Amino acid sequence: MRVEEPTRTRSVVALLSSVFCSSAALALLTTVLGKQVFDLTGSELSLGLLGLAEFAPAALLVFVTGTLADRIERRKLAAWGLAAQAVTIGGLAWYAGTKPTSTLPIFLLVIAFGTAGAFSTPATRAMPADTVRAERLPWLTARQSAAWQGASIVGPVAGGFLYVLNVRAPYVMGAGLVLVAAVLILMVQPYRPHVPVTRPPGGMREAVEGVRFVRSQPILLGAISLDLFAVLFGGAVALLPAIAETRLGVGAVGLGVLRAAVGIGAGSVTLFLTVRPVARRVGRVLLVTVAIFGLGTIVLGATTSFVVAFVALAALSGADSISVFIRSTLVPLVTPNEKRGRVLAVEAVFIGASNELGAFESGVVGQLLGPAVAIVLGGAATLAVAALWWSTFPALRNVDRFPAGVDRAGPEPDPARGSTGLANG
């Protein structure tokens, strides 16, 4: 049964509020952890290892977490995962106050944080498509992106100031925000309640269904892999603590402001998307914005000016917000609901690889060649990826409009016939 409009409105507010709280906590945590680990080690490689520690659990557990998101009520799974993340942040708060000299406990707690996130992420990412009608998903995605980008501004700035006042304070705030997010996600009443899969477990065949479905859909494969390789090479944000310290000469507050530039640029573009969302030439816009992301990364690596670095971060993050909006709308709409958890678990691994594994790659190259060279080379590689995907994935390039949505498993979508609302342009 479909819920009434007032309940649906409350559910949307609860979902967006949960996204804001959890995203602000993650942005705060990323800023503070990067600063603390770099202060302890002075090593760019250690910054990359932080990303690897967070990414590894999602990759190792992908076939388990996606299946659970299709078999368990998603809001409960998301809430339990968020609650477990709050516990690990509490552990980081305790350790930060002990005047640590070793990073090993930090990395172990980050692995635990990533493990909890591996279970909550597929469920959380599937919930917007469960909460509103398919034709309203672009509307909700734009507002979800706005909530996330707003959190990307608040989180780093708060983290930087709190870290200066008391090293434990940002972690305590982060744990509190994640707990609030867990409570809010339980308040969401889906428009079409998720009906958990009740057939007997299908073993590995069922678990890998998400991978098979992505491989069978050129549009999905192109969109998800584009994000993987573009951000994998262009993961400049991971090196911001080193850039702020060695090239720009700013401390924790300056680092927080640079982190906030990411949210300011992306947030400004996202607010525009809430008014004028991308509706035509979706595939071409996606590829062009990835190229702009690469150009902004090159400028960031080449400059020694704090102002230019701030502008470059705002520009590249604004371009990235458009690509995130397109992918976040496109992927669930071409995926049947009963496969959505497994497909989004696969996508989460790709995103994690692009962000966390990209941070590791940037850390390794930064350690070998210096952070500036690593960032410039990464931006150049992102440009090359955008050009390669333009020619390799014509199905993605020629997507004109978002599809109308897939409610249940059925025949493969055929963009040429317009059965999913995709048109060749």
Beta strands in 194-244 (DSSP E): none
What DSSP string describes 65-110?
Answer: HHHHHHHS-HHHHHHHHHHHHHHHHHHHHHHHTT----SHHHHHHH
Angle at 359 between CA 354 and CA 363, to 5 degrees: 145
| pLDDT of the residue at 352 | 61
**Terminal Cα distance for the chain, rounded:** 38
Q: How many CB atoms lie within 10 A of CB 368?
A: 11
| pLDDT of the residue at 353 | 57
Share of the chain above pLDDT 70, in %: 80
How confident is residue 4, by pLDDT bands cut at 50, 70 and 90? Answer: very low
* pLDDT digits 0-9 by tens, 356-388: 566 666 666 666 777 777 788 888 888 888 888
| pLDDT of the residue at 59 | 73
| pLDDT of the residue at 422 | 26
Instruction: With beta carbons less than 8 A apart as the criterion, state whether 422 and 415 touch.
Output: yes
- Of 38-47, 98-107, 172-181, 314-323, where does the model show the most confidence? 172-181
Q: Residue 372 CA to chain centroid, in angstroms?
A: 24
Instruction: With beta carbons less than 8 A apart as the criterion, state whether 292 and 412 touch.
Output: no
Angle at 54 between CA 14 and CA 34, to 5 degrees: 95
| pLDDT of the residue at 409 | 38
Residues whose CB is less than 8 angstroms from the CB of residue 287 and which lie 6 or more positions away in sequence, other chains included: 226, 386, 389, 390, 396, 397
Q: Which amino acid is at 238?
A: A
* pLDDT digits 0-9 by tens, 200-232: 444 456 556 667 777 777 887 888 788 777 766
Measured CA to CA, the distance from residue 385 to residue 61 in angstroms comes to 28
Mean pLDDT of the chain: 76
pLDDT at 48 exceeding the cut of 60: yes
Q: What is the pTM of this model?
A: 0.65
Q: Which amino acid is at 289?
A: T
Instruction: Summarize the confidence of residues 123-134 as an average pLDDT.
Output: 80
* Nearest CA-CA partner of 281 in 390, 151, 127, 153: 390
Measured CA to CA, the distance from residue 345 to residue 72 in angstroms comes to 14
| pLDDT of the residue at 391 | 84
Residues whose CB is less than 8 angstroms from the CB of residue 310 and which lie 6 or more positions away in sequence, other chains included: 257, 258, 261
* Nearest CA-CA partner of 234 in 327, 319, 308: 319
| pLDDT of the residue at 182 | 93
How confident is residue 193, by pLDDT bands cut at 50, 70 and 90? Answer: low
Question: Is the CA virtual torsion 395, 267, 291, 368 positive or negative?
Answer: negative
